[in-house]
Amino acid sequence: MRKEVNRSSVFTRRALLIGGAQTLLLGGLAARLRQVQVEEGARYTTMAEDNRITARMTAPRRGRILDRFGKVLAGSLVNWRALLVMEQAVNVRRTLDNFASIVPLTETERTRIERDMRNGKSYIPILIKEYLSRDAMTKIEVNAPDLPGIVVDGGTSRTYHHPYELAHILGYVAPPSENDMTGDPLMALPGVKIGRAGIEKFHDLALRGRPGVVHLEVNAVGRVIRELDRADGVNGDDIGLAFDFGLQQVIQKRLGDEAASAVVLDCRNGEIMAMVSNPSYDPSLFMTGVSQAQWREWTKDRRTPLINKATSGLYAPGSTFKMAVALAGLDAKTIGYHDRISCPGHFDLGGSRFHCHSRSGHGGVDLKNALKYSCDVYFYQVALRTGIDRISAMSHRLGLGTELDIDIPGQRVGQVPTKDWRAGKGLPWQLGDTVVSGIGQGPIVNTPLQLATYAARIASGRAVQPHFTRRIAGVVQPGSQPEDWPDLGVPEQMLQAVRGGMFAVVNEGGTAPKARLGGQVQMAGKTGSSQVRRVSRKQRESGTFDSKNLPWEYRPHALFVAYAPYDKPRYALSVVVEHGNAGGATAGPIARDIMLEVLKRDPAGKPDSETAQIADAKS
């Protein structure tokens, strides 16, 4: 009996201990459940939602680029692409290998993906493949369980409606580099492109826009079930240009296969109506990657298609520079309007002889006839009397050899030198340098855009700056009115004197009779031929030398600058034909045909797209 009582008491203590332990465990569990469900319920609900809902930033549509009449020059198209969110992938390497077995990846794409994975954040999608076909998208969706972290997304890609004609103006877009990662979250989004040249680069910030966000419901393997809500980003601003695309096409066709450039300005306000650099290239190739074969083809072409000749090509202006020399001489009072200088066909200075293009000479010529016949001897002597520093100062005032406030990056400034410039190289300035500068040779080089600006400033008497941009997001930008630009600061009488000489060049038997328009409207202009290789005295005096017989790359460049109408200047232009030999014979007729088209179209005289829409609404 005593043993039974002892066993009963032992059992009772064990039962109490076990019961107590169970009570403690259940109590702890209940306390934990209360903590999870009551105290921390909100946090776990959020975590559960985060597993079910994924948020993705969305890239905005890049702004459009339009011509003055509303024609879309650059826009965007839907681009289906595959993205990888690393934090949703169980094994990133395995996921990529599985993807590549379904949709092949090139070595270049693999390298880019590896770089993006190293530099990116795990929650920001990485671009895997762009421009997916419908068949590729179907395969990805069918194999979704084997591709955790892979999603198909609809982005946008840049499209150029007329790439060849507009490459040098619009430029192109390309993926951002590591140097472009400045903290802007937009730069981290897959497939984002930024401007690398032209208008695309100059207005890149305005064209980008701001990103949005979309919330998606996903299942356990990451497949999208449905879109829950979307906060759209702000699309980039549209950029409206003063440019006339129809005129651009006509000029491109007129230049044909020539390595040449042409620029047309509204000489009252500097708006660029057309800018052609020939030959051109297709900028869309930079978005998908340029092959080595294509790059070799471009770089081996001696006509240099990748260079915007209008803003980056440097050429000696030749005789087109003579108006600047004349204005410098008049301003310094080293010549008068009717002073005559004798031209026997050459000019001797020390032991050097400087030839005129006319071997027999022009006799006694004044300013008007010196421009009309492009007498070199006249301008040799005017340059000596005036000095290079005064010539340089006047040239800069006219837009030559100085930086222009142009809305296309990459322009080259060229130069109209001074004595200090030569001294900075440790060399003295020689009188012979001044002589050859009088006809736009020697160390003087300018761009075709500067030459067109030069013609516009002579025609208008205003310090206009060339520019493309008219509107940003519909807002008119400063510079569209003549009064937006200051007076050139050159007396009207002086300007009228060189205008008269330019008129005679074209219309009174001067060096450019082939440039005459032939109707009631008259054009004033000036020819130029700039040497790229020295011609010896023996060759000049032989009487048999003809630069047309030289190899193409040794022939002089052919230049022409002009404005029209003569009595009421509206448009100014420059034409440069590389190795075209003679300005009057080659560049002059091209300039005539371009000006006839410009006057026929009269883009500056027509309402632009928004003005026309307002007028239609009122009517």
Instruction: Please give, one letter per residue, the 3-state secondary structure of 36-63.
Output: HHHHCHHHHHHHHHHHHEEEEEECCCCC
Residues 6+ apart with CB under 8 A from 216: 53, 54, 55, 56, 224, 225, 226, 227, 228
> Do 78 and 149 belong to one domain?
yes
Co-location of 443 and 354 in the same domain: yes
What pLDDT is recorded for position 218?
Answer: 64
Clarify whether residues 201 and 267 are in a common domain: no
Domain-located, residue 184:
yes
Q: Are residues 230 and 119 part of one domain?
A: yes
Q: Please check whether residues 573 and 501 belong to one and the same domain.
A: yes
Number of domains making up the chain: 2
- Is it the case that residue 615 has pLDDT exceeding 50? no
Cα–Cα distance, 619 to 610 (Å, whole number): 14
Q: What is the pLDDT of residue 542?
A: 54
* pLDDT, tens digit (0-9, with 9 covering 90-100), for 526-576: 999 988 776 655 555 555 556 777 888 889 999 999 999 999 999 999 999
Let me know whether 388 and 501 are in one domain: yes
Q: Measure the CA–CA gap between 587 and 529, rounded to whole angstroms.
A: 9
In the block, tokens 């340089």 appear at: 392
Q: What percent of the chain has pLDDT over 70?
A: 86
**Residue at 540 is within a domain:** yes
User: What string of H, E and C letters represents the secondary structure of 430-479?
Assistant: CHHHHHHHCCCCCCCEECHHHHHHHHHHHHHCECCCCECEEEECCEECCC
Q: Beta partners for 226?
A: 217
Distance CA 190, CA 168 (A): 27
- Does 74 or 36 have the greater pLDDT score? 74
Percent of the chain residues past pLDDT 90, beyond the cut: 52
Q: Are residues 461 and 549 in the same domain?
A: yes
Q: Is residue 580 part of a domain?
A: yes
Is residue 23 a part of any domain in this protein?
A: no
Give me the mean pLDDT over the 602-608 stretch. 87
Domain-located, residue 507:
yes
Q: Are residues 142 and 179 in the same domain?
A: yes
What is the predicted pLDDT for the residue at 32? Answer: 73
Residue-level pLDDT at 589: 97
Which of 241, 268, 293 is the last residue before a domain boundary? 241
**pLDDT reported for residue 414:** 94
Pick from 140-154, 431-445, 463-477, 493-507: least confident: 140-154
Residue 413 has pLDDT above 70, yes or no: yes
274 and 410 housed in the same domain: yes
pLDDT at 449: 98
Residue 124's pLDDT is 72
Is there a contact between 203 and 173 (Cβ–Cβ < 8 Å)? no
* pLDDT, tens digit (0-9, with 9 covering 90-100), for 555-567: 999 999 999 999 9
| Mean pLDDT on 423-430 | 89
* pLDDT band for position 311 (cuts 50, 70, 90): very high
Q: Taking residues 435-463, what's their average pLDDT?
A: 97
Q: Which of 40-49, 161-170, 263-272 has the highest mean pLDDT?
A: 263-272
Q: Which of 186, 210, 241 is the last residue of a domain?
A: 241
- Please state at what angle helix 492-507 crosses helix 322-332, rounded to 10 degrees: 150
CATH number, position 199: 3.90.1310.10
Q: Of 183, 213, 241, which closes a domain?
A: 241
Question: How does pLDDT run across 49-62, given as a tens digit for each residue?
Answer: 555 666 666 778 89
Q: Is residue 38 part of a domain?
A: no
Asked if residue 353 lies in contact with residue 537, where contact means CB atoms within 8 angstroms, the answer is yes
Instruction: Average the pLDDT over 433-444 and give the result.
Output: 95
Predicted local distance difference test score (pLDDT) of residue 253: 96
Task: Give mean pLDDT, residues 207-228.
Answer: 69
- 214 and 111, same structural domain? yes
Residues 151 and 180 in one domain: yes
Report residue 619's pLDDT band, with 50, 70 and 90 as the boundaries. Answer: very low
Same domain, residue pair 237 and 249: no
Q: If you write DSSP's letter for every residue of 241-292 in order, what string do you get?
A: ES--HHHHHHHHHHHTT--EEEEEEETTT-BEEEEEEES---TTHHHH---H
Note whether residue 265 is domain-resident: yes
pTM score, whole prediction? 0.81
pLDDT at position 41 is: 63
Q: Say if residue 618's pLDDT is above 50.
A: no
Query: What would the pLDDT profile of 82-132 be if each residue is shown by its tens digit?
Result: 888 888 787 888 889 899 999 999 888 888 888 888 877 776 788 888 888
Q: How are strands ordered across the β-sheet holding 524-530?
A: 272-278, 260-266, 571-577, 557-564, 524-530
Mean of pLDDT over the chain: 86
pLDDT value at position 220? 58
Identify whether the C-beta of residue 527 lies closer than 8 Å to the C-beta of residue 388. no
Q: CATH no. for residue 388?
A: 3.40.710.10
Instruction: Answer whether the bond into residue 565 is a cis peptide, omega within 30°.
Output: yes
- Average pLDDT score over residue span 26-41: 72
Range of the domain at 119: 54-241
> What's the rounded Cα separation, in Å, for the pair 116 and 484?
48
- Backbone φ and ψ of 525, nearest 5°: -160, 180
Question: Which one-letter amino acid corresponds to residue 227?
Answer: E
pLDDT at 288: 61
HSE, side-chain direction, 13 A CA sphere, residue 538: 0
Residue 27 is assigned to a structural domain of this protein = no
Q: Please report the pLDDT score of residue 499 as a whole number.
A: 98
- Residues serving a catalytic function are 319
Q: Indicate the pLDDT class of residue 252, thresholds 50, 70 and 90.
A: very high
Burial code of 432-450, b = ≥16 C-beta within 10 A, e = fewer? ebbbbbbbbbbebbbbbbb
